[in-house]
């Protein structure tokens, strides 16, 4: 815990974040609201974020524990305080009695919770007495052990019968911080030397990818503000090079926000790029990212429009390359956003797949003959991945699949992993790390009409 962040204050501030996420709000948004609503110091904000992320990695178990430990359902605020306190006990972050004392103090410090201080004390002490019996019993349930809703577990097990447990277990791991070096502003060896000068341990994990041994806040990453690097997972860094844009190309980056892949495309060539994003606020993020990277604004247009409505942005000239990083369940990046399985509903998968098909069908006519489209989702669900790409080929006889380097089939599915024992995807370059995020890639080429 950072110096200057009293534990009772951390628990007090984290409790309403848990409540908001538990009622359907995204964790990042809940943390943002908490920052705006309090005058918390930087150490306190950082500690609250860590506690909330840790609690979400135990959500299923915490919910099950509260059902067993509390004789009655607590008020939301009390339940939130108990949840974040239990998460710290599960992680053995503090001495047991210190943690209980500070949780009780957090309740006493709030007028609306003061009367429940004894209840908080009783529930936490009950957990300490019964944990050796309760935890093995509750963790017999796979969904509780792997921290996902039952429907999520069933879908991953169905889609990946040989690797489902490793995929789900990877979400419990702390994600690495991987940077992409901006080749317009330097090279990877020069950036590694800069890190060494500042005593920051790092490893090269790809042609332009650097993994920091210990994650840093963005503000403390050397050269980030000056556009030397971007934060981007090693697997996500495969997209732009696989599309292979050339200087003479016209490129469409559909669904461009927050702009990581847009920037990578612009770094790799002098192609003219249309970056289309439907959300005006997120479109500004794309423009700000390009500005930070020092990329030529005259050849990259950021357009606020629905990529599925070409009439709103297309000038009638075909694109040579299209990148469609489509909205999806984000089931491949749960380790970065542990609230994702709990925010999604089972019906969301089909709805998102329908929208992905709409976007694919809308942008395909904009592609020139012999042009290529790369379809990308950060998902492990086959309905958004293999089934989506296969269905597209059935609908479009003028499309053909292009094998990606080293891929065992015509598509490339990278499952999220956490360590070398999880296996290494065949379509990954040999120097990429084994603990990458989960992505699916399908490269499609438009056939040239025969005379």
Backbone angles phi, psi at 272, to 5 degrees: -85, 125
Ordered DSSP codes for 96-138: HHHHHHHHHHHHHTSTTTGGGHHHHHHHHHHHHHHHHHHHHHH
3-state secondary structure of 189: helix
Q: Specify the DSSP element, H or E, that contains 241.
A: helix 239-243
Handedness of CA 303, 305, 306, 312 (dihedral sign): negative
Catalytic residue chosen out of the listed positions 52, 255, 328, 378? 378
Say how far apart CA 103 and CA 124 lie, in whole Å: 9
Q: Which class for 363: exposed (0-12), middle (13-18), buried (19 or more C-beta within 10 A)?
A: buried
Place of tokens 């705006």: 36
Active site residue 378: yes
Q: Specify the DSSP element, H or E, that contains 302.
A: strand 300-304
**Alpha-carbon separation of residue 241 from 107, 190, 424, 442 (angstroms):** 53, 21, 20, 13
C-beta separation of 349 from 356 below 8 A: no
Residues 6+ apart with CB under 8 A from 91: 54, 58
What residues are annotated to the active site? 378
């Amino acid at each position: 815990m950072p110096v200057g962040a009293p534990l009772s204050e951390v628990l007090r501030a984290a409790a309403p974040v848990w409540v908001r996420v538990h009622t359907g709000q995204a964790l990042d948004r809940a943390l943002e609201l908490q920052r705006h609503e309090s005058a918390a110091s930087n150490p306190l904000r950082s500690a609250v974020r860590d506690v909330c992320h840790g609690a979400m990695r135990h959500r299923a178990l915490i919910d099950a524990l509260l059902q067993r430990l509390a004789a009655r359902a607590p008020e939301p605020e009390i339940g939130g305080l108990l949840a974040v306190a239990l998460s710290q006990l599960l992680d053995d972050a503090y001495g047991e009695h210190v943690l209980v004392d500070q949780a009780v103090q957090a309740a006493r410090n709030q007028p609306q919770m003061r009367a429940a201080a004894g209840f908080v004390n009783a529930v936490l002490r009950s957990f300490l007495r019964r944990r050796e019996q309760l935890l093995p019993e509750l963790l017999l349930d796979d969904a509780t052990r792997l921290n996902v809703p039952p429907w999520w577990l069933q879908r991953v097990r169905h889609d990946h019968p040989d690797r489902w447990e490793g995929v789900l277990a990877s979400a419990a791991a702390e994600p690495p911080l991987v940077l992409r070096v901006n080749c317009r502003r330097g090279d990877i060896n020069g950036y590694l030397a800069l890190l060494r000068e500042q005593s920051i341990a790092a490893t090269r994990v790809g042609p332009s990818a650097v993994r920091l041994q210990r994650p840093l806040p963005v503000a403390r990453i050397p050269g980030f503000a000056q556009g030397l690097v971007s934060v981007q997972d090693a697997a996500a860094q495969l997209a732009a090079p696989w599309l292979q844009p050339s200087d003479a190309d016209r490129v469409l980056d559909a669904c461009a926000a927050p702009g990581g892949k847009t920037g990578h495309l612009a770094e790799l060539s002098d192609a003219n790029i249309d970056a289309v994003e439907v959300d005006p606020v997120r479109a500004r993020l794309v423009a700000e990212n390009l500005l930070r990277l020092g990329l030529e604004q005259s050849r990259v247009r950021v357009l606020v429009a629905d990529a599925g409505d070409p009439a709103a942005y297309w000038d009638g000239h075909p694109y040579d390359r299209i990148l469609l990083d489509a909205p999806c369940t984000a089931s491949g990046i749960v380790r970065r956003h542990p609230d994702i399985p709990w925010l999604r509903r089972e019906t969301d998968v089909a709805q998102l797949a329908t929208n992905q098909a709409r976007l694919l069908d809308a942008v395909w006519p904009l592609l020139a003959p012999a042009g290529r489209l790369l379809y990308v989702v950060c998902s492990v669900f086959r309905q958004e991945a293999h089934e989506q790409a296969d269905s597209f080929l059935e609908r479009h006889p003028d499309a053909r699949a292009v094998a990606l380097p080293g891929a065992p089939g015509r598509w490339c599915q990278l499952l999220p992993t956490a360590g070398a024992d999880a296996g290494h995807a065949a379509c990954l370059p040999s120097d990429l790390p084994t603990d990458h995020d989960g992505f699916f890639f399908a490269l499609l080429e438009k056939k040239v009409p025969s005379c």
